[in-house]
Structure 1
Amino acid sequence: MCGIAGFASSSLHTDSRPGVITAMLSEIHHRGPDGAGYYLDDDVAMGTVRLSIVDLVTGAQPMSDATERYAICFNGELYNYLELREELRALGRPFRTRSDTEVVLQAWIQWGPACLPRFNGAFAFAVRDAVGDELFLARDRYGKRPLFYTAGRDGFLFASEMKAFRAYPGFRFALDPHELKSVFGLWTPLPDRSPFKGVRQLPPGGLLTVRAGRTALHTYEELAVEAEPFAGTAAQAAAFVRETLRSSVEVRLRSDVEVGVYLSGGLDSSIVTRLATDLSPHEVRTFSVEFENRSLDESDSQRSVARYLGTRHSSIVVSTADITENFPAAVHHAEVPVFRTALVPMYLLSRHVREAGTKTILSGEGADEAFLGYSLFRETMLRAAWNGLPDEERDRRIAVLHPELSHFGPEHRTHMKGLLSQFSSERLPGLFSHELRYQNGRFVQRLLKDRSEPFADLLALVGNTPGYAALSPTQKAQWLEFKTLLAGYLLSSQGERMGLAHGVENRCPFLDPAVVRAAASVNLRFDDGWEEKAILKEAFKGLLPADPLTRRKQPYRAPGSGSFQEHRPDYLELVLSGRELKEIDGIDPVFAERLAAKVMSTPVADISTKEDHAFIHLLSTALLNQQFVRDRSDYMRTPPDTELKVTTVVDRRRAASLIGGK
């Protein structure tokens, strides 16, 4: 796991380029505190800050091949690198290190872009072909690792985090009101977007070619949520899923450093912990978040699983004061407006993990998307079948639809039936499954001056995606979750970005391509979708304590806007002052000030979900405006990093005196 950055076709004088690439890497030093290096030629500069996980001795980056035609800066892990190395050796490719980075480089030299579908990993990388005068950028199929880019008159820039662009002379951030419309409506940017003008993401499964200042974007692998139905019995399906997950955890334990586990106490993380304890040659360390607010806390379940599996367990306790104190730093690392504070506990947990001496962890992310774990999927099935169901069946299904939400209780049954009936037919083409959720997004749009259709870009995306229209309502719901909230929030703002803020790598066994395919083949094959993750539970029956197998899913939540009422940090003035709100491009300062004042004066129990989301969106946007647009370091609230030390330099400029030096 690392961070990468660079530029091409730059107007910068050649003598200034080493200083600029070093400054860009310094901005993302937190991602890779174990080493740094850069590559230069007459057209490209690129570099890496390295978090050493595999091949601690000879895996330094950037890395070149023996001919010096190709060089790579690699962020992430290739889990099937041992198998690919043997295949490449048999084809005559030479290896000088034990690193997965060199496997990626040699695979690229051997197969070109055709190597990408062969990769089982979490990655974003840049490959320079000096002879072909091309730069290639690629990102993994599920968007586990970030990669941003921007192109203008002064050149093409790319980086794992946008903050690296701050170090490039002349670059300035500006919020994009059009993209804020999507972020507020969907809770996340679209797969190829960012909240800043002119800055794009390489989408999951994407490949970008840069040549002579021109770019060409390709998709090397489309997201697939359908598969041939599993042909065997339920028992055989459970065994198939269990063994597929076992193989996934096994390859993700490949590491030259300790691998721990994030243990929430739910089914998914318990499964990962069970498999890790079975497969690891070492005692497994587990890490958890506890909350002072007992209604949010799952520590009893966490400790129960840890005791049952015999892990070495530790946790942190998060208070509302912790939320307000660390919210600016978490937003600074997320680099995007957020709709809830749940990223802050993960920011604090990764700091605890790193202080404990661990820098690689496994988590259960992706299980709900792959195995239909969210109540959103059951809601979609109910709404799709609504008009054909007798009234008593509607009542039965509503009773178990959202047990975690009080407004789905018996006293609200009549209202909920009316709401579900109202949304039993599609209004937004292709977005049927998410239409109820998107109502909160429509409320948040009132924060913006531009209140045109917030879902227009998403409608265009699904409308232009081959095969999407033929998917079932449930499969469309899965596709939307993978493409929006999973990649854009759970794996990034709440996941990768919070981990790498403290140099901790997150690995996701449920997002192995084989696991996702296995889930697609068994989903709804052996139950009607109303027994939450039935096959997963059957697969690990007898291997886990009763609680994670029998307890209904408790969504991960953190203290919300009430935290800011209770502690009222000084930066709250950013949303309580009309003068400050006028400084945020695209925000309606009148409505925003009124909303903030209402949330800050309303009893916490009476703040609606949509108001809570809108307030957090507004506050995080105001902080981003200070941190990136106005470049106010006093609003970052992140501890100073250690000084970047460059240990590897590959200088291939024609005028350079040092060629391939270290």
Structure 2
Amino acid sequence: MCGIVGWTDFTRDLGREQATLQRMTDTMALRGPDDAGTWTGPHTALGHRRLSVIDLEGGTQPAVATAGPHREPVVLVYSGEVYNFRELRATLQQRGHRFTTRSDTEVVLRSYLEWGASCVDHFNGMFAFAVWDASREEVLLARDRVGIKPLYYFTYPGGILFASEPKGIFANPLFRPVVDEDSLPVLFNARLALPGETPLRGLRELRPGHVLRFSRGGAHEYPYWRLVSREHHDDLDTTVATVRDLMEDIVERQLVADVPRSAMLSGGLDSTIMSALAHRDLSAAGEGPLHTFAVEFAGDDRDFKPTELRPERDAPYARLASRYLGTRHHDVVLHTDDVLAALPAARRARDLPSLGQFDTSMHLLFKAVRAESTVALSGEAADEIFGGYPWYHDERLVWRDRFPWIGDAPRLADAFAPDLHRRVRPADAEHDRYLTLKAEVPRLPGEDGLDARMREVMYYSLKGPLAYLLDRKDRMSMAVGLEVRVPYCDHRLIEYVWNVPWGMKNADGRWKSLLRLAFADVLPQETLDRPKSGYPGTHDPAYDADVMRSIDKILSDPSSPLHGVFDPERVEGLTRAGSKTMTWLNSSHLLLPVLEVDAWMREYGVALA
């Protein structure tokens, strides 16, 4: 796992831009604390920071080969893991390629030399990479199918900047951070962002499952992978067995590393299944027990208040699951002072407006994990593909023609100042994004009723909330030099489960039936019976009070970059609104983006146009 940056410009000599390239590369230091390297040519400059996970001695980057009649350079910078790299290396060796390392980096480079841009079709993994092919005078950017690893870019006449995180692009003086008014709804609710969309003018994220070519003719982005809807012919027993076989293979592949491994264990269905498989595999290899981790907030036994998305505390279930499985468990207990003190580091990791305590607590959790291991497994995507969220099971929300996780709840954009609200029309912005995704849903001919609607609902979740969660996971983990792998994001599993009818996904009348049926023999009964509970947040009244005081100061501060954006009376009205979305803890949670956007705009010098 690593951080990459790059710059291609056909109008200038980038050999003279080493200082700028170094500044861009240095911004990735936390993502790659183990090694660094740069490469420059007349029109391309590439930088890399490495976190060593496989082949600790080899695999340095940028990786260079030659191609074409004049043996011109082909240069790769790569972040991620290709889990089938061993099989690919064997195939490439049969085709005449020679290898000097054991790393997957060299496999990615050689795959490009063999198959060109279509090399991505051969990869199973999480990745973002750039290849400069001098013989073609072209830079190729590629991102994994689900969007686990990030890759941002900014184009301008004759050139392109790209990086694993926005800060790599911010370090180049050609980019200025500006937010247009029309982007404010996304700025204050990142779950509304369409794939590739950011709130900053000109800054794009390469969409999951896409490739971008940049040459003298400009930029061209296109998909190499999409979900396809097909008839599901397997019966329930076969479907359950297939899910189990896939998960066992996925976890085994994702444990390959030359460094210590661990897992997130909340005590819910997804993480306990993942931990059970990982613990079994490591123990069989003589490398166990698996270390597992869960976050807990001091005072939760006193302050915790159940919500529909978070009906119970994680910590007791995590400890119970660990005892049942035999893992070595670590409770990461956080105090409010810890959460507040770590906010600047978490904000810096995000580059875009943070999630406050939810970013900070994850940052601190991953920091504790990094003290024991370099690779960790996490359970993102299980709810999105197997149907775990409560809004999947509420008919009122399912059939409402809008994003189901928001429903009729008040939006922060409802509190925009009247003139701004009329210009931006946030309700239209939200609905336009909803309709855009609805038009993209891969339909199954002849499918109707609840099965057809749930295909839509699950597609929205894959394109909105999941992208949001994967982004948070990547930023907070890489900020402490931890590689987090996500077994449920394996594209083979997603492709298979996508086409399982909704009725079969609820075969036992409960959420995530397929997982429960597939792994009932390896889990404690308490886990099997536990309802979905989202990532925890602190319920400390002192934290909420601190957030609300800070927001009041911002709204009355004429020097705030948000001065004039909100109507204070409308903001106050939101705190009194009785309707709430399932995703909020309380009013401070709803209003938190005001605080975080203000801090982000000040720190990064973001202008509002």
Would you say same fold, with TM above 0.5?
yes
Deviation of 1:237 (Å): 2.9
**Residue of structure 2 equivalent to 1:540:** 519
Residue 630 to residue 307, structure 1, CA distance change in 2 (3 Å): same
Deviation of 1:441 (Å): 6.1
**Residue of structure 1 equivalent to 2:406:** 437
**Residue of structure 2 equivalent to 1:447:** 416
**Residue of structure 2 equivalent to 1:655:** none
**Residue of structure 2 equivalent to 1:559:** 538
Q: Of 435, 442, 447, which aligns to 1:467?
A: 442
Residue 561 to residue 298, structure 1, CA distance change in 2 (3 Å): closer
Aligned residues: 573
The 5 Å alignment of 1:18-97 reads 18-67=18-67, 68-97=72-101
Task: Tell me the secondary structure at the aligned position of residue 150 of structure 1.
Answer: strand
Deviation of 1:598 (Å): 8.4
* Equivalent-residue separation in structure 2 for 1:265 and 1:492 (angstroms): 23
Q: Of 293, 297, 304, which aligns to 1:291?
A: 297
* Equivalent-residue separation in structure 2 for 1:467 and 1:51 (angstroms): 37
Residue 319 to residue 155, structure 1, CA distance change in 2 (3 Å): same
**Residue of structure 2 equivalent to 1:502:** 480
Deviation of 1:167 (Å): 1.9
Aligned AA (1:478): M
* Equivalent-residue separation in structure 2 for 1:269 and 1:236 (angstroms): 23
**Residue of structure 2 equivalent to 1:329:** 345
**Residue of structure 1 equivalent to 2:364:** 348
Aligned AA (1:221): W
Task: Tell me the secondary structure at the aligned position of residue 30 of structure 1.
Answer: coil
Q: Of 476, 483, 496, which aligns to 2:456?
A: 476
Q: Is the 8 A contact 2:2 2:32 kept in 1?
A: yes
The alignment status of 1:524 with 2:524, answered yes or no, reads no
Deviation of 1:139 (Å): 0.5
Q: Of 469, 472, 494, which aligns to 1:490?
A: 469
Q: Of 196, 200, 203, which aligns to 1:199?
A: 203
Q: Is the 8 A contact 1:267 1:549 kept in 2?
A: yes
Q: Of 375, 387, 401, which aligns to 1:360?
A: 375
**Residue of structure 1 equivalent to 2:232:** 229
Deviation of 1:578 (Å): 3.0
**Residue of structure 2 equivalent to 1:168:** 172
Deviation of 1:596 (Å): 7.0
**Residue of structure 1 equivalent to 2:307:** none
The 5 Å alignment of 1:503-652 reads 503-526=481-504, 528=506, 530-559=509-538, 562-567=541-546, 575-581=554-560, 583-584=561-562, 588-592=564-568, 595=571, 611-629=587-605
* Equivalent-residue separation in structure 2 for 1:55 and 1:525 (angstroms): 45
* Equivalent-residue separation in structure 1 for 2:505 and 2:130 (angstroms): 44
* Equivalent-residue separation in structure 1 for 2:574 and 2:223 (angstroms): 45
Q: Is the 8 A contact 1:184 1:617 kept in 2?
A: yes
Q: Deviation per CA, 1:166-206, whole angstroms, max 9, x where unpaired?
A: 32124321223322213435635221111211101101111
Q: Is the 8 A contact 2:322 2:329 kept in 1?
A: yes
Greater shift after overlay, 154-163 or 241-250? 154-163
Q: Is the 8 A contact 1:173 1:629 kept in 2?
A: yes
* Equivalent-residue separation in structure 2 for 1:15 and 1:183 (angstroms): 37
Deviation of 1:572 (Å): 5.5
The alignment status of 1:373 with 2:406, answered yes or no, reads no
* Structure 1 gap segments, 5+ residues each: 384-419, 632-662
Residue 188 to residue 302, structure 1, CA distance change in 2 (3 Å): same
Residue 69 to residue 34, structure 1, CA distance change in 2 (3 Å): same
Greater shift after overlay, 177-186 or 254-263? 177-186
Residue 61 to residue 128, structure 1, CA distance change in 2 (3 Å): same
**Residue of structure 1 equivalent to 2:309:** none
Task: Tell me the secondary structure at the aligned position of residue 213 of structure 2.
Answer: strand
Q: Of 189, 192, 198, which aligns to 2:193?
A: 189
Aligned AA (2:294): S
* Equivalent-residue separation in structure 2 for 1:608 and 1:545 (angstroms): 29
Residue 162 to residue 590, structure 1, CA distance change in 2 (3 Å): closer
Greater shift after overlay, 67-76 or 589-598? 589-598
**Residue of structure 2 equivalent to 1:311:** 327
* Equivalent-residue separation in structure 2 for 1:528 and 1:305 (angstroms): 24
Q: Is the 8 A contact 1:249 1:275 kept in 2?
A: yes
Deviation of 1:307 (Å): 1.4
* Equivalent-residue separation in structure 2 for 1:499 and 1:311 (angstroms): 22
Aligned AA (2:35): G
Deviation of 1:467 (Å): 3.3
Q: Deviation per CA, 1:483-521, whole angstroms, max 9, x where unpaired?
A: 11101x11012x111100101111111111222233234
Q: Is the 8 A contact 1:173 1:197 kept in 2?
A: yes
Residue 608 to residue 155, structure 1, CA distance change in 2 (3 Å): closer
Residue 272 to residue 289, structure 1, CA distance change in 2 (3 Å): same
Task: Tell me the secondary structure at the aligned position of residue 567 of structure 2.
Answer: helix
The alignment status of 1:252 with 2:254, answered yes or no, reads yes
Deviation of 1:614 (Å): 3.7
The alignment status of 1:106 with 2:110, answered yes or no, reads yes
Q: Is the 8 A contact 1:578 1:589 kept in 2?
A: no
* Structure 2 gap segments, 5+ residues each: 305-311
Aligned AA (1:477): V
* Equivalent-residue separation in structure 2 for 1:561 and 1:174 (angstroms): 35
Deviation of 1:128 (Å): 0.7
Task: Tell me the secondary structure at the aligned position of residue 154 of structure 2.
Answer: strand
Deviation of 1:588 (Å): 3.9
TM-score normalised per structure 1? 0.80
* Equivalent-residue separation in structure 1 for 2:554 and 2:108 (angstroms): 46
**Residue of structure 1 equivalent to 2:123:** 119
Q: Is the 8 A contact 1:76 1:122 kept in 2?
A: yes
The alignment status of 1:458 with 2:433, answered yes or no, reads yes
Deviation of 1:242 (Å): 1.2
Tell me: higher relative CO, structure 1 or 2? Use CA pairs within 8 A at least 6 residues apart: 1
TM-score normalised per structure 2? 0.87
Deviation of 1:328 (Å): 3.4
Aligned AA (1:228): E
Q: Is the 8 A contact 1:150 1:156 kept in 2?
A: yes
Aligned AA (1:491): L
Q: Is the 8 A contact 1:592 1:618 kept in 2?
A: no
* Equivalent-residue separation in structure 1 for 2:497 and 2:238 (angstroms): 13
Q: CA RMSD in A?
A: 2.9
* Equivalent-residue separation in structure 1 for 2:437 and 2:365 (angstroms): 36
Q: Is the 8 A contact 1:291 1:297 kept in 2?
A: no
Task: Tell me the secondary structure at the aligned position of residue 126 of structure 2.
Answer: strand
**Residue of structure 2 equivalent to 1:412:** none
* Equivalent-residue separation in structure 1 for 2:230 and 2:575 (angstroms): 46
Aligned AA (1:618): V
Q: Is the 8 A contact 1:180 1:195 kept in 2?
A: yes
* Equivalent-residue separation in structure 1 for 2:177 and 2:505 (angstroms): 50
Percent of matched pairs sharing the same residue: 31
Residue 325 to residue 567, structure 1, CA distance change in 2 (3 Å): farther
Q: Is the 8 A contact 1:249 1:276 kept in 2?
A: yes
* Equivalent-residue separation in structure 1 for 2:63 and 2:365 (angstroms): 32
Task: Tell me the secondary structure at the aligned position of residue 245 of structure 2.
Answer: helix
Residue 78 to residue 445, structure 1, CA distance change in 2 (3 Å): farther
* Equivalent-residue separation in structure 2 for 1:289 and 1:610 (angstroms): 20
Task: Tell me the secondary structure at the aligned position of residue 477 of structure 1.
Answer: helix
Deviation of 1:564 (Å): 4.0
Deviation of 1:52 (Å): 0.7
**Residue of structure 1 equivalent to 2:267:** 265
Task: Tell me the secondary structure at the aligned position of residue 149 of structure 2.
Answer: coil
